[in-house]
Amino acid sequence: MKRYAFPLFLALLAALCAFGLTATGGALLVRASQHPETLLALGVLTTGVRAFGMGRSGLRYAERLLSHGAALTQAQVLRAQLYVRLAPLGRELPAQHGQGAFLLRAGADVDALTFETLRADLPLWTYLGLATLLTLGLALLDPLSALLVGPLLLLAAYFPVRLSRQAAQLAGTRAELDGQHAGTLLALSSFGGELAPQAARARLAPIQAELTEVEARLAALPARLNFAREGLAVLALTLLIWRLGGLVQAGDLAAAWLAAAALGVVAAFDAAAVLSALPAARAEGLGAAERLAELQALRPRVTPPAHPASLPAQLALTLHDVALFSSDPSRLTHSFPHGSATAIIGESGAGKTTLLRLLARDLDPASGQISVGGTPLTQLDPAAWRSQLSILDQDAALIDGTVAANLRLALPTASDAELRERLDELGLSHLNFNAWIGEGGAKLSGGEQQRVALARALLRPSAVLILDEPTAHLDPVSENLAVAAIQRRRAGRTLIFATHHTAPLSLADTLCRLHQGTLTELPHGL
């Protein structure tokens, strides 16, 4: 909060200028109507009006400039801290928290926390400072007026803070209902027949009705705050005029002071108008903080040994009595010689992806041992082992950037010519590698996304290629290009891949079927 101290000071000065502009303007009008001959006093008031007007604009601009600069710095620091905290998770993070969308959500949550400061904290503290100074000024003018108006000024700040709790509860309820709504839609997506529309309406109607009610209650909060603020302003102005008006009639106070005080109170309540956004900002910030805390609470499933062994010269992989699932009594024993090409087939759910994740040490087996060149995989530093791997996951995530930026994640020093060559050999010569592809490659077709991800995996220098469904989402022509590219780029590397397609099987010199926790080598050509 220290970085916001000076912007807060400027915001308070800007608010005081707005208050002073209104107050001196009122005093000027009253003074001019009562004593037009006092040119000096009128000149002073006119100068004050102009000075406060210029000060309000200049200070507000400076405050916005500095506060937004501080917010951007805060967001940068928060992002850096978050990424440093999440970096040890490595490839486990998408597996534990969904594919690449978690980064987009985390970035939005960091923004929500940052803008909570701008939309809630700064306006609140600015208003409280203004209300305090106005109350002190009224106390110097007339203590009873300060006692009458001061509490009402503070109530204008209390109500938004009080309603923030309700907004947070409603926002949490809305998030739960959104999840139920999405889950119900997903469940109904596989429900066909003539009864599907009726079933959808029957299941979704109660959720939609509750969502509508929650949305209406959230939308009503700013209106309630505005109504309460206007009511407090009317009450404060009535009490002030009653009290100071009596003093003016008794001759104990100049009318100009009454006008200045009354219009100053109006200006103060106008300054409280921005607090109507406080409950929503607080609710968003609270939800963001909870999600970020959940993300930061994630811990690696695999950890490096205290004294990791050196990587063997030959990276032959061996499975010895490995259990894919803790509930499955079956065990895997198999070897992947250095430089070999092994295809793993099997029905969906057999555990092919799990096996590839065990080889990459995204997971450790429930029992048994995986070794590399005779060294247990658990004795190697996971980062050092993964530096020898080039991995293509199912539905591999693409970042929100250019084609070139996605490819250079595998090899930052790759030249434009190298990138062009990798794209061309996969039938992507039409792609401009400086084109922005959107989050997850949203601007590309499914086949283009798959081929860009495959090009990235093949571009990475590595000793072992682990490919999970490398030709998924591809038409026959694109599939043949992908198989040819893999064959061309796998020279000197160990290739292990899982597939449901027949075309990639030509890459393998060993074919294995994974069935019921057992890996069986099949005759070549079967």
* pLDDT number for residue 122: 84
Parse the chain into domains and list their residue ranges. Answer: 4-166+231-297, 317-522
Q: What is the pLDDT of residue 376?
A: 92
Rounded to the nearest integer, the mean pLDDT of the chain is 81
CA distances 328 to 293, 370, 417, 456, Å, are: 34, 17, 49, 35
Let me know if the fold of 4-166+231-297 is the same as that of 317-522.
Answer: no
Would the pLDDT of 125 be above 90?
no
- As a whole number of angstroms, the distance between CA 137 and CA 158 comes to 21
* CA nearest neighbour of 156 among 1, 286, 265, 19: 265
Q: Give the pLDDT of residue 520.
A: 87
For residue 238, the tally of other CB atoms under 10 A from its CB is: 11
471 vs 91 pLDDT, higher one: 471
Helical (H) or strand (E) element with 288: helix 278-296
What per-residue confidence (pLDDT) applies to 195? 43
Q: Is 200 helix (H, G, I), strand (E, B) or coil?
A: helix
CATH number of 4-166+231-297: 1.20.1560.10
pLDDT of residue 221: 86
Report the pLDDT value the prediction gives residue 232, as an integer from 0 to 100: 92
Give the per-residue pLDDT at 91: 67
Percent of the chain with pLDDT over 90: 28
The span from the CA of 144 to the CA of 244, in Å, is: 9
User: What pairs with residue 318 in β-bridges?
Assistant: 335, 371
pLDDT of residue 39: 44
Query: Rounded to the nearest 10 degrees, how much is the dihedral formed by the CA atoms of 364, 368, 373, 378?
Result: 40
Pairing of strands 341-345, 332-336: unpaired
With a pLDDT cut of 70, the percent of the chain lying above it is 81
Secondary structure string (H, E, C) spanning 456-472:
HHHHCCCCEEEEECCCC
* Average pLDDT rounded to a whole number, residues 489-507: 92
Q: Right CATH number for 317-522 from 3.40.50.300, 2.30.33.40, 3.40.50.720, 3.30.70.1150?
A: 3.40.50.300
Whether 2 shows a pLDDT value over 80: the answer reads no
Contact indicator for 233, 266 with CB cutoff of 8 Å: yes
pLDDT in tens, 419-446: 999 999 999 999 988 888 887 788 888 8
Helix (H) or strand (E) holding 318: strand 317-322
| Residues in CB range of 385: below 8 A, 6 or more apart | 311, 361, 372, 377
44-59 pLDDT, tens digit per residue, is: 545 554 555 555 666 6
DSSP state of 28: H
Q: Could you tell me which residue, 256 or 352, shows the higher pLDDT?
A: 352
Lowest mean pLDDT among 142-156, 278-292, 306-320: 278-292
Phi-psi region of 388 (alpha: psi -120 to 50; beta: other; left: phi over 0): alpha
List, in sequence order, the alpha helices (H) in 117-142.
122-141
Q: Does the reported pTM lie above 0.85?
A: no
294: which 2 tokens? 């959940």
